């Protein structure tokens, strides 16, 4: 999972191979982004001399604390080629409130 932040947004990317968008849930509560899901897979192989069935199941959940000022109405989550991309824009007010502080040299 990769989490990056700039002055306008927070981005989260997480690789979820073998999963589909319907297998993943994304939620935000109390400045915490939670990504969870469950992978279900069944593979059957029949041959003349044997019959084999493999099943793999697994669930996961990741919670990421976020800074103040996320615009909850503009959050986007996109799933493409096994990678979930979540973009969490910061509110305009939060962006304006950020201030650079000049560092002075002490004598």
Architecture of domain 2-36+63-97: Sandwich (2.60)
Strand-by-strand arrangement of the 51-65 sheet: 24-29, 32-46, 51-65
Give the pLDDT of the chain (107 residues) as one tens digit per residue.
999 999 899 999 999 988 889 999 999 998 999 999 988 777 777 777 777 777 777 889 999 999 888 999 999 999 999 999 999 999 888 777 767 788 988 88
pTM of the entire predicted model: 0.74
Nearest 5°: the CA angle 36, 8, 32 is: 30
Burial class (CB in 10 A: 0-12, 13-18, 19+), 37: buried
Q: What is the pLDDT of residue 74?
A: 93
Q: What is the pLDDT of residue 61?
A: 94
């Amino acid at each position: 999972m990769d989490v990056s932040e700039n002055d306008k947004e927070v981005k989260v990317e997480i690789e979820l191979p073998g999963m589909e968008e319907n297998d993943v849930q994304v939620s935000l509560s109390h400045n915490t982004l939670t990504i969870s899901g469950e992978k279900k897979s069944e593979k059957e192989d029949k041959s003349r001399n044997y019959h084999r069935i493999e099943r793999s199941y697994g669930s996961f959940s990741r919670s990421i604390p976020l800074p103040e000022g996320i615009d909850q109405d503009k959050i986007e989550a996109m799933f493409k080629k096994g990678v979930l991309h979540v973009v969490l824009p910061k509110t305009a007010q939060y962006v304006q409130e950020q201030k650079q502080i000049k560092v002075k040299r002490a004598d």
